[in-house]
Every structure is written in C-alpha cells, then in structure tokens.
C-alpha cells in the first residue's frame, strides 16, 4: 500500500508523519522523531531524515519501498552557535587592582596592611611590629605549621591583621588563632601576589556580604586613589558585589591602560525603508528599528565591531554550507534581548569576573528553496522515492493544528521550536497569513548559560527543561514552589545541601554557586524575554488588523510548547488581550508535536 510521509526538519529535531489513503480519506499510521543531523537547511540533514522515516516505519508492517511520496518543509536556519552570540561593549582594563572571592573564608572583619611571606614575620625589626601585616601562605605549608608561625608572631607583638592562603584551609587556621582576623583562602595564583604591597582583606560574618570592598569609594579610601583611578577599579568592585569575602591589593606598576571594542551598529534594509540601531542602546532600540523597517530584506553590522563580526560569521558559515557567495546570504529576521554577561577582571588572582550589560542576538538566514530542492533531489536518488519541497512551515503547522479535536477556523497558531518562532492565522475562508521569526528554545538556553556563568550549554538546556529543588536534609527537599517532599530512604550525600534539577524523578546536582532563587529567576526571565516577546510580535504581524485583540483563539504547537512553564507564561501574557491559548493535540494523539509534518502530509494529499 503506497504511503505518504511528511518530514519536518527543525533546528533541534526532525519529525515524521506517515499516512496512506483509504477510500479517499487520509489515515495516519505512525510518527517518528530524531535529533536533526547537521545545521537545518543543509545536506547534513539527510541522515536525520532517513533515520526518522525508518523509525516511523519500524512501528508499521511497511518498509521504505512502500513510501510513494515524501514532502519536506522549507527550512530557514537559525544558526545557534554562530548567530546567537552575546555581544557587548567590552572595556578591557589592565588594572593595578585585583580582587578575590573564596568559598570558605575564615574569621571576620577588615584587615589593612602590607603583604609578607609568613616565614619572614620572625625576621622583622621590632620597629616594624606596629605596622599592619598580611602574611602570604603557600600550598607547600601545612596549616598547623602556618598556625604556629602566625600565633608566634602575635605573641611577639607583630600586628598581623589578616592572612591570604593558597589552599582552602581558611576555617582550619582561623579556628586555631589567638586573635580573630579575616582569613582569605583559595587564592590560586598566590605566587603572583607580590610582597611589600598594600592590601585590604574583608570577610563578612555568615549570612552577610562584603560592604567596603564592593564599593568603589571604599577601595579608593584605603588606597588614596584619584578620581580617574577610581573609575578604573569599578569592575573590581562590581565583581565583589554579593560576596562574603574579598581581597584587593595594589601592585607596584601603578599604570592603568584600557581599550574599547565597541558593540557597534546594525543596519537594517526593509522593503520600503532602511534604518539603523546602536547595540549599546539595548534590545528595545534594536527591536523598534526592526519593527519600523518591516518587512526586512537584510541586516548587516558595522565593520570592526562585535555586531559586524557576528553577522559576518553568520554569512560565512551559511555561504560555506550552501555554496553561495557571502554577498548572496541575507538575514531576514533578528531577535535582540537584554542580558548580562560575565567579563573577566583583568589582573585577577582567581578568575574573578563582573557582570556587564549585554545584548543577546539570534539571527535567521533567509530560506533557500534551491538548497532545499537539492536536498529533495538527493533524497529522491537515495530512497528512489518522489520527494518534493512542501509549503512554508507556519502554513503547514496551521494545517496540522486543525487536526486538534475541538479546533476550527478562524484560528491562530504559535509554533514554538528550538531555533524559530512561527505564527500563522487562518480565517473562515481558509486564507492563511504567516510569519517566521528568529529566536526560540536555543536562545533561552544561551541566555541561561550566559547569565549564570555556566561552562556547559547542555547543563543550561537541562536547567531550562526541568524544575528545581534544594536538598535541605538527607531525607527532604524543598521544591522551587516552596513545597517540601520527604523520602523514606536517605538521599545520596552527593546532593546534600545542593541545588538540583529533577529529571524523571532523579535529583541531579547543579555545579554552580548560584542559589535556587537566582537560577529560577534567570530561567523564567530568559523564557519571557524570548518566547513572550517573540510570540507577541509574531501575532501582531499576522493579525488582520495589526492588533492581538483581533485574535480570539491561539493553539500552541512545537517542541518548546511541551516545556513545563512556557505555556503558562504565554497564557498569562495573552490573557491581557482577551486571547484564549492552550496546547494543541495533533491528530488527537501527538500532543503539540508533529504539527508541521502532519500539515505536509495533508498538503501533499491535497496536491
């Protein structure tokens, strides 16, 4: 029996809907889904297409030889690792000030003095005893020996006001000292800390944060800085905000140099007019310029800036994958969102960083039907089956969404994917209007990774997908909504007192110093910045009157609509406009997934 397959090549997954004709009616028999191979809209997708098709066929009595026709979507790529880069105006300051924030400080208070190797304390002249001294204790010294040397110096009357350690022995040493003083440990580059320079060490009591060294004027007071020097140490002070401990010292060079890499401008070419936006003015300014130039034909960045370099890399990657000249690659849409990015403090002794304002950008390259036709032709040869390029993704998605029980035109859909957000509306006469916008699930993961300072994008993806909890004891956890859950058996010690995400009942610890509240806030804000912003601008563009209030019903489809909180965020946002929104259930069996693949089958049958 001849089968028809609709295949939706997405940025993250490739989905298949398999059907056949029975007495002039279309009967769907199976579905398949695999991870997309290669970048969306390139020949690398072919392996994923074949794998997803085979997966669907494995659930039926048929084989590839029974597939009479395949319809694939027009795939416009959103280049995740290239286009969705976080860009900012970066000021690199080779400062004379360095700071540090260990996780296990000892003692409390503020100590101001001169740095000295701990074994040199006994060699000081008695006339120098009254000066403030801050000993440096290397990793080759046992903490008991260090305690003995420090207590001996205190007994001699040497004014030891603080201590700086390379190892994490801060608490062990502090508990054995004759005098309470701030003890900062985990200074990984202690060998680069010079002797004989002025230093300030601050440790707050448990539950508090440093107050003096997180204030630029506080640092300026201790080191007698000029207004110009005070301006250059702002990144150091910002890096220490919210920390329990800190050490700042002034190196002998005394020279401060800086250079600026500007964020740059974006030049937008529209059908009727052009415009420009300065990235330094933030995401709102960029999106206003995008709206005034719609529909957009191409976007370019200012040469020699972060924005220009990023967009040129987008063109370079797409040109190499498609075989086109770079000048022939056009960016058809762009989503900008305000975010924060950690920037390393130059001269730091333990990888300190400060959070700077930045703008996250997702860029979409204009779909290339010729490239998709080349993929269809190669599939035709390899599978010996008729393969054609179907319609626009959003149009196909609305055809698939209409198979949801209880749905009928007029209707609007929001297709929430990994790389793009699509919207389409169908009126009572069957006319469809659609839009394809950059930015979706991958952009959310990027923002989470950036703002939490994570090294692993996969960890950001997991944080995006699963709810959080804090392990409060070996037998209980507190969920992010405040609910407490108790366990009959003891939990693993590896998760004790850790923030975890809950994946299929498993508690997975998050390797990050951020609190549960901070992680949850960043996650929800990232979803709001991307999905709520994109969905509202998409619906405005497809609405008959340009107003969201002209739309009554919206069906959410696509992989990201399976997220545990995105539908709730969108429902709340759309409720302000009197719009009824909810998850679709494609064909009554697939949930919100498989809408485009199902629509491709239906369009193929109509043809």
Same domain, 273 and 142: no
Q: How much is the pLDDT for 533?
A: 93
**Nearest CA among 10, 51, 58 for reference residue 383:** 51
The most confident of the ranges 344-348, 422-426, 517-521 is: 517-521
Of the two residues 303 and 29, the one the predictor is more confident about is 29
Same domain, 384 and 453: no
Range of the domain at 173: 94-249
Mean pLDDT lowest among 315-324, 388-397, 509-518 = 315-324
- 254 falls within a domain: no
Indicate the average pLDDT of the chain.
Answer: 86
Q: Is 108 helix (H, G, I), strand (E, B) or coil?
A: coil
Last residue of a domain, one of 249, 277, 304: 249
- Counting the structural domains of the chain, the total is 4
Q: List CB contacts of 382: < 8 A, sequence separation 6 or more.
A: 46, 50
pLDDT digits (tens, 9 = 90+) for 226-254: 888 888 777 778 777 777 888 888 766 54
Q: Is the pLDDT of residue 324 over 60?
A: yes
- 124 falls within a domain: yes
Cα–Cα distance between 109 and 91 in angstroms, integer? 32
Last residue of a domain, one of 200, 215, 249: 249
| Assigned token pair, 211 | 């107050």
Mean pLDDT lowest among 127-131, 231-235, 291-295, 365-369 = 365-369
- 187 falls within a domain: yes
Cα–Cα distance between 486 and 503 in angstroms, integer? 17
**Nearest CA among 202, 249, 222, 210 for reference residue 107:** 202
Same domain, 373 and 479: no
Mean pLDDT of 30-58: 92
Q: For residue 218, what is the domain's CATH number?
A: 3.50.30.70
Q: Is the pLDDT of residue 455 over 50?
A: yes
Q: Are strands 296-301 and 265-270 parallel, antiparallel or unpaired?
A: antiparallel
Q: Omega into 410 within 30° of 0, i.e. cis?
A: yes
Q: Is the pLDDT of residue 456 over 80?
A: yes
Same domain, 13 and 100: no
Q: How many helices (H) and strands (E) does the chain have?
A: 17, 30
Same domain, 112 and 5: no
Q: How much is the pLDDT for 84?
A: 47
Q: Is the pLDDT of residue 93 over 60?
A: no
Same domain, 159 and 267: no
Same domain, 319 and 293: yes
Listed in sequence order, the DSSP H helices in 483-551 are 516-527, 533-542
Of the two residues 349 and 138, the one the predictor is more confident about is 138
Q: How much is the pLDDT for 473?
A: 94
- 270 falls within a domain: yes
Same domain, 215 and 135: yes
Same domain, 398 and 409: no
Q: How much is the pLDDT for 605?
A: 63
Same domain, 399 and 409: no
Q: Are strands 245-250 and 198-203 parallel, antiparallel or unpaired?
A: antiparallel
What's the longest Cα–Cα distance across the chain?
106
- 8 falls within a domain: yes
Q: Are strands 432-438 and 257-261 parallel, antiparallel or unpaired?
A: unpaired
Last residue of a domain, one of 348, 364, 380: 364
Same domain, 238 and 130: yes
pLDDT digits (tens, 9 = 90+) for 479-489: 999 999 999 99
Q: How confident is the model at residue 103 (pLDDT cuts 50, 70, 90)?
A: low
Q: Is 436 helix (H, G, I), strand (E, B) or coil?
A: strand
| Assigned token pair, 383 | 């599978």
DSSP-derived secondary structure for 246-261? EEEEE-TT---EEEEE
Q: For residue 48, what is the domain's CATH number?
A: 3.30.420.40
pLDDT digits (tens, 9 = 90+) for 578-607: 888 899 999 999 999 999 999 999 987 655
- 376 falls within a domain: yes
Q: How much is the pLDDT for 77?
A: 63
Q: How much is the pLDDT for 94?
A: 38
Strand order of the sheet with strand 163-165?
97-98, 245-250, 198-203, 109-117, 133-137, 163-165, 183-184
Q: For residue 271, what is the domain's CATH number?
A: 3.90.470.30
Same domain, 168 and 284: no
Cα angle 6, 9, 13 (rounded to 5 degrees) comes to: 110
Alpha-carbon dihedral angle through residues 260, 262, 263, 267, given to the nearest 10 degrees: -170
Radius of gyration of the chain (CA): 30
- 429 falls within a domain: yes
The secondary structure of residue 480, as a DSSP letter, is T
Q: How confident is the model at residue 46 (pLDDT cuts 50, 70, 90)?
A: very high
pLDDT digits (tens, 9 = 90+) for 568-581: 999 999 988 988 88
């Amino acid at each position: 029996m001849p089968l028809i397959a609709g295949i939706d090549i997405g940025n993250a997954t490739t989905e298949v809907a398999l059907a056949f004709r029975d007495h002039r009616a279309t009967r769907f028999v199976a579905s398949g889904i695999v991870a997309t191979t290669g970048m969306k809209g390139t020949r690398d997708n072919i392996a994923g297409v074949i794998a997803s098709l085979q997966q669907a066929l494995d659930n039926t009595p048929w084989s590839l030889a029974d597939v009479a026709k395949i319809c694939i979507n027009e795939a416009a790529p959103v280049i995740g690792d290239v286009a969705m880069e976080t860009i900012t105006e970066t000021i690199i300051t080779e400062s004379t000030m360095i700071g540090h924030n260990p996780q296990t400080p000892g003692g409390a208070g503020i100590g101001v003095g001169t740095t000295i190797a701990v074994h040199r304390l006994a060699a000081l002249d008695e006339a120098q005893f009254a000066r403030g001294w801050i000993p440096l204790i290397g990793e080759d010294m046992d903490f008991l020996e260090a305690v003995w040397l420090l207590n001996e110096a205190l007994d001699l009357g040497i004014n030891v006001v603080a201590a700086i350690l390379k190892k994490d022995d801060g608490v062990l040493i502090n508990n054995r000292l004759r005098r309470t003083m701030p003890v900062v440990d985990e200074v990984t580059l202690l060998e680069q800390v010079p002797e004989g320079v002025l230093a300030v060490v601050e440790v707050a009591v448990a539950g508090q944060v440093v107050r003096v060294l997180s204030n630029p004027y506080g640092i300026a007071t201790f080191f007698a800085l000029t207004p110009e020097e005070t301006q250059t140490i702002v990144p150091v002070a910002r890096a220490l905000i919210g920390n329990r401990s800190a050490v700042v010292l002034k190196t002998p060079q005394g020279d401060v140099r800086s250079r600026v890499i500007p964020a740059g401008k974006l030049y937008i070419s529209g059908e009727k007019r052009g415009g420009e936006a300065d990235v330094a003015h933030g995401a709102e300014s960029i999106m206003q310029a995008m709206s005034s130039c719609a529909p957009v034909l191409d976007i370019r960045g200012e040469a020699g800036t972060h924005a220009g370099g990023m967009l040129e890399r987008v063109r370079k990657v797409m040109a190499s994958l498609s075989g086109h000249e770079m000048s022939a690659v056009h960016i058809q849409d762009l989503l900008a969102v305000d975010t924060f990015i950690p920037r390393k403090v130059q001269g730091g002794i333990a990888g300190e960083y400060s959070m700077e304002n930045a703008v996250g950008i997702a860029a979409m390259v204009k779909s290339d039907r010729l490239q998709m036709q080349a993929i269809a032709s190669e599939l035709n040869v390899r599978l010996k089956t008729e393969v054609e390029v179907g319609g626009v993704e959003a149009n196909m998605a609305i055809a698939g969404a209409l198979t949801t029980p209880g749905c009928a035109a007029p209707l609007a859909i929001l297709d929430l994917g990994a790389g793009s957000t699509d919207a389409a509306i169908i009126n009572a006469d069957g006319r469809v209007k659609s839009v394809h916008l950059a930015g979706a699930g991958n952009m959310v993961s990027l923002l989470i990774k950036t703002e939490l300072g994570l090294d692993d994008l996969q960890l950001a993806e997991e944080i995006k997908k699963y709810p959080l909890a804090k392990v409060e004891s070996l037998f209980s956890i507190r969920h992010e909504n405040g609910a407490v859950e108790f366990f009959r058996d003891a939990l693993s010690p590896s998760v004790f007192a850790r923030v975890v995400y809950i994946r299929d009942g498993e508690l997975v610890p998050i390797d990050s110093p951020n609190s549960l509240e901070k992680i949850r806030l960043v996650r929800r804000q990232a979803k709001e910045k991307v999905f709520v912003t994109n969905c509202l601008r998409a619906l405005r563009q497809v609405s008959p009157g340009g107003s969201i209030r002209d739309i009554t019903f919206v069906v959410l489809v696509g992989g990201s609509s399976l997220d545990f909180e995105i539908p709730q965020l969108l429902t709340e946002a759309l409720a302000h406009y009197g719009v009824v929104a909810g998850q679709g259930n494609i064909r009554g069996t697939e949930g919100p997934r498989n809408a485009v693949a199902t629509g491709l089958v239906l369009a193929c049958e109509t043809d």
